Structure 1
Amino acid sequence: MISRIWQHRPIRSFSTTTRYLNEFIPTTQEHHDFLARNTEKPLFSRKTYLIDYYKHLNDSNQILLFLHHNNLNKPDTDKFRHEISKIGGKLNYINNSIYKTYLKSQFEKDPAEKGISFKNQNVDHPLLPLLNGPTCIISIKETNPQIITSLIKLLKSAHEKLILIGGRIENNIMNIDDINKFKDLPTKENLQGQLLGLLTMLSGTGLVQTLSTPSQMLYLTMYQRKDDIEKQE
């Protein structure tokens, strides 16, 4: 919800927070809920926007890769953004200080809420050590090792202008060795196919057909089996 509202705000208006707040006309319940937030910094301030954006990155992507960037000019940035986008990722520059503030309050309902950063100022997070020096993130929507493989190949051609330092894959924090192992894994679809093949060999097609059905049908099948057993008793 918050990310959709921020899409309507031009970045240049960070210097005119009060004016933008006065001009913003709520038209939905989401808008009213947004305006009702009690944030540490002004609602339309740059810091509140970035905390909201970092939360959106974290919540809407299965993979976040953290990188150091060195001497990237605008043509370099445009080039890498384009190449990364073709592979299936998105390049995001981050403000380390504000990202640290977000991480410490990651599991709060509203990390930008007034008093939350003070409450969590001593909270540790396994990603904090990565946030030193110029940092950027490649965000990826799906858990696909093939995307990681292509990205690592691209990063090797970057001549140390982009250096991978770690990441989060689903709920797992990974170092470079972990990421290199992950990229060699099959996709989820391939794993499911291998599992079904193994079950076919071990248990026949009946179990495979049951496990291949949607969860609701699987529930009904198990419920029917329970009913049959009770009738036999």
Structure 2
Amino acid sequence: MIIRSTINNIRRSPISLFRPSTIVHFFSTTTSVHNAVVATPDEFIPTTEEQAKFLQRTTEKPLFSRKTYLIDNYKHLNDTNQILLFVHHNNLNKAENKQIRQDLTKIGARLTMLKNTLYQTYLKSSHEQDPAAVGMTHRNKNANHPLLPLFVGPTACISIPECEPAKVQQIVKLLKKMNEKLIVVGAKIEKSFMNRLQIDEFKDLPNKEGLQGQLVGLLTMLGGVGLVRTLETPGHMVYLTMEQRAKDLDPSKEE
């Protein structure tokens, strides 16, 4: 009854190929579906071309299984956030969990608990168009990824949609008040992977708008003629160097 009611609700809502939360949102709150198939494509009637495309996928695990849902969710998390901070959590009680989520929401971030083995499976196939597709696990079983060593012990992810160092700084300060119940161990920032020391350096940087302002100020200080000279200098020096080398090789040549 729960499944059919949920499926009927889904049919009335648009979905995206890698936004599985709208398809099986009840997975995270239903304890009886952890490793079971909770629905089948036959029970889901597509109403849009996008939904029909979703049903055409051939996945490693059943399309409507929790494992496929989680890998799809990890891909969506990666594709829609420019900053992912990975943290180890230690004995976080219910009240602390609720409080930290509320505090992160105020900053513009979100906490997601991860299933280590499945996230590692996703990481190995994260370069694939559909990491959950059939054959991806076997094809990439020996693949390496810089983030794989982080997943030792209970791990969570704090996601930030925009690349804003100031928000990372706010989050780091917030986590310090948690008495080591949440510890930052690494990060993915845009296409770069950072350790704790690099994160400490990154959080003190200005945001993109600030860097652009500094660049505009620098160009303004250089001025028109000064800027042209600055831009022309490397090419001019290369030309003189090549010309002198040509004369050294053939002193009789004047051009």
> Per the shorter chain, which TM-score range?
0.7 to 0.9
Q: Does 1:143 align with 2:143?
A: no
Q: The residue matched to 2:188 in structure 1 has which SS?
A: strand
What is the CA-CA distance between 1:72 and the residue it aligns to? 0.9
Q: The residue matched to 1:2 in structure 2 has which SS?
A: coil
Identity of aligned residues (%): 54
Query: What is the alpha-carbon distance in structure 1 between the residues aligned to residue 20 and residue 114 of structure 2?
Result: 20
* 1:2 match: 17
- 5+ long unaligned stretches in structure 1: 208-233
The partner residue of 1:117 within 137, 158, 162 is: 137
* 2:104 match: 84
Query: What is the alpha-carbon distance in structure 1 between the residues aligned to residue 48 and residue 134 of structure 2?
Result: 24
What do residues 102-126 of structure 1 show as CA deviations (whole Å, max 9, x unaligned)? 0000011110011110010000100
**Corresponding letter in the other structure for 1:92:** T
Number of residue pairs aligned between Structure 1 and Structure 2: 206
| Maintained 8 Å contact 2:19/2:76 | no
Q: The residue matched to 1:139 in structure 2 has which SS?
A: strand
Query: What is the alpha-carbon distance in structure 2 between the residues aligned to residue 37 and residue 4 of structure 1?
Result: 14
* 1:24 match: 44
**TM-score, normalised to structure 2's length?**
0.77
Give matches, 1:13-52, under 5 Å: 14=33, 17=37, 19-52=39-72
**Corresponding letter in the other structure for 2:218:** L
Q: Does 1:68 align with 2:83?
A: no
Query: What is the alpha-carbon distance in structure 1 between the residues aligned to residue 124 and residue 37 of structure 2?
Result: 26
Query: What is the alpha-carbon distance in structure 2 between the residues aligned to residue 127 and residue 81 of structure 1?
Result: 23
What is the CA-CA distance between 1:2 and the residue it aligns to? 2.4
Query: What is the alpha-carbon distance in structure 2 between the residues aligned to residue 119 and residue 125 of structure 1?
Result: 14
Q: Specify the structure having the higher radius of gyration (Cα).
A: 2
Query: What is the alpha-carbon distance in structure 2 between the residues aligned to residue 192 and residue 87 of structure 1?
Result: 23
Query: What is the alpha-carbon distance in structure 2 between the residues aligned to residue 142 and residue 68 of structure 1?
Result: 22
Pair 190,44 (structure 1): closer, same or farther in 2 beyond 3 Å: same
Query: What is the alpha-carbon distance in structure 2 between the residues aligned to residue 149 and residue 69 of structure 1?
Result: 19
- 5+ long unaligned stretches in structure 2: 1-15, 228-255
Q: The residue matched to 1:17 in structure 2 has which SS?
A: coil
| Maintained 8 Å contact 1:69/1:161 | yes
Query: What is the alpha-carbon distance in structure 2 between the residues aligned to residue 19 and residue 67 of structure 1?
Result: 33
What is the CA-CA distance between 1:21 and the residue it aligns to? 3.2
Computed over aligned residues only, the root mean square deviation of the Cα atoms, in angstroms, reads 1.8
* 2:4 match: none
* 2:205 match: 185
Query: What is the alpha-carbon distance in structure 1 between the residues aligned to residue 60 and residue 125 of structure 2?
Result: 13
